[in-house]
Structure 1
């Protein structure tokens, strides 16, 4: 397909997706605000910038390696319901052995296409679908970046419990979000040829690249929701901006697992988000679920900017569609 036809196809798709209703900032469904989370993607479609996200942990290698990442992601709405995001990560690898050499470099560049397919304000439910592409060869091989593309179709969802009866009012600030994706590598295996220095014999070693189920979820308790939609306890303003949560991010190889095995790895991430009107700050612990997932507790933190509220008629406006209507993350009765 020529580049002109490709551009024309994208334009037709974008115009077809232009909404007839007005656009709201953030992912607010009824009275429920779904914040951006660190381990999995939130279920919404927004104009936003995560910069920076930083983490530090020890890998599950034997011996383990100290890994530190600095990453950023920019998401831009094409229409009210369709957005494209771009992300990149710079990795520092430091062996525990001080005499061993470390490595620095970018991971592969990533692009995600995301479309919100359903939104039910009365039941605080939202669902989106997406396709993430990791562009092979755009990162450094010495930090583990693959030379081939990986495609991950993903389902995202979020459900607030605000539709529960008043007898369960203390549970209503709870929300659950989740995602399920299937990462498909463009190359099934890589064969490496080595030469025995003594005999001169050639040896071929094959590494198989599995397809992996990426899955996870969050449980959140929104203090802004508690104050605005349940009861005002007269707590300090700082506390009323907090959303404590626990995330789980897990990976399970499902096919082509001859060299990888099928063991699930991942982390459980307890933490907290402080929500403002135009930005949020979050920090979480990274607790490995097994030895293969890591050798100690790590940490991740993020500054996240709401571009749709910072500049609702400029960079925060969908390319096709009306300007966003500023919408506070703090719901009102």
Structure 2
């Protein structure tokens, strides 16, 4: 997995290069609301953070199905308070029922993101972005990466319900996030496979219930400390072909992922079940797990700062 080593070296070089000493606002807070980084869709904030790794296991839609193992990492860096860049890299292994194994890297992905809005009083955050999947940067010969690039404009929205009246206090810990993108390949036809390359709508979101918010903003139930760190959630990730899909299935594919995230002061751990929405999306129930690091809290005087224009505001952390 030499590309993982390359990205780790890149991250280490960034740690050394960045020497700013001011304090910044930590990860995705909107007022009293903390929106965690979810496992399949982005949270609606620019941040300094790293997922290392995200691991998924599932069964493919083939007949008979194969076992698929996915391992990925991503590294997010704020350039300014409102503009950030994320680098992502994944590796996949597919094991056929007869024991045949194939593996390879996907293409390197870069996302450029801009914070449009943070409204603390309404716990509302909006993020726009442009994601580029760089063709020919992965294992194209093994079929795990495309030879063409893909450009995806996206918008991410997060909304907490903390502005509801006290009569609805038990609903206030709920929050929703949504992500919508339109995937545009740089080629319209694959001459090696003699198929059209479709443009696709990629979308999803989460419904989450924050136990830290319940304790700090609604009521302290006196639960064991472990439970006060939990955010149960249901995440959905879907893809629908929209254009240039001649001769290809037009079926929407994706998964529904119930799970939970445990959040700490410097990292979070998440695990979700992966339930295919139809036969074309996979077979049986898979699993997805992630370790996510808050670099703005781990390295508040170096890598956790924007490269330019760092704030002098105190670092915001979760309280339990």
Structure 2 counterpart of 1:31: 32
Structure 1 counterpart of 2:205: 217
Q: Does 1:259 align with 2:260?
A: no
What's the offset of the Cα at 1:292? Answer: 0.2
1:315 & 1:291 partners in 2: Cα distance?
44
Residues 12-45 of structure 1 show CA distances to partners (whole Å, capped at 9, x for unaligned) of: xxxxxxxxxx831111001000100001111111
Task: Give the secondary structure class of the aligned counterpart of 2:169.
Answer: helix
Structure 1 counterpart of 2:266: 278
What's the offset of the Cα at 1:63? Answer: 2.9
Task: Give the secondary structure class of the aligned counterpart of 1:212.
Answer: strand
Structure 2 counterpart of 1:64: 65
Runs of 4+ off more than 3 Å = none
Q: Give ranges in structure 1 of 5+ residues lacking alignment.
A: 1-21, 193-204
What's the offset of the Cα at 1:64? Answer: 1.9
What's the offset of the Cα at 1:206? Answer: 1.5
Structure 1 length normalisation: TM-score?
Answer: 0.87
Task: Give the secondary structure class of the aligned counterpart of 1:233.
Answer: coil
Residues 277-333 of structure 1 show CA distances to partners (whole Å, capped at 9, x for unaligned) of: 0100000000000000001100000000000000111011100012573211238xx
- Aligned with residue 306 of structure 2, among 318, 325, 329: 318
Task: Give the secondary structure class of the aligned counterpart of 1:325.
Answer: coil
The count of corresponding residues between Structure 1 and Structure 2 is: 297
Alignment of 1:232-311 (within 5 A): 232-311=220-299
Residues 138-193 of structure 1 show CA distances to partners (whole Å, capped at 9, x for unaligned) of: 1113243100100000000000000000000000000000100000000001123x
Task: Give the secondary structure class of the aligned counterpart of 1:296.
Answer: strand
Alignment of 1:1-333 (within 5 A): 23-98=24-99, 101-141=100-140, 142-192=142-192, 206-322=194-310, 325-330=314-319
Change (3 A) 1:133 1:36: same
Q: Contact 1:28 / 1:329 at 8 angstroms: preserved in 2?
A: no
1:251 & 1:291 partners in 2: Cα distance?
14
1:26 & 1:174 partners in 2: Cα distance?
19
Q: Contact 1:104 / 1:143 at 8 angstroms: preserved in 2?
A: no
Q: Contact 2:240 / 2:253 at 8 angstroms: preserved in 1?
A: yes
Task: Give the secondary structure class of the aligned counterpart of 1:171.
Answer: coil
What's the offset of the Cα at 1:267? Answer: 0.1
Q: Contact 1:93 / 1:143 at 8 angstroms: preserved in 2?
A: no
Structure 2 length normalisation: TM-score?
Answer: 0.90
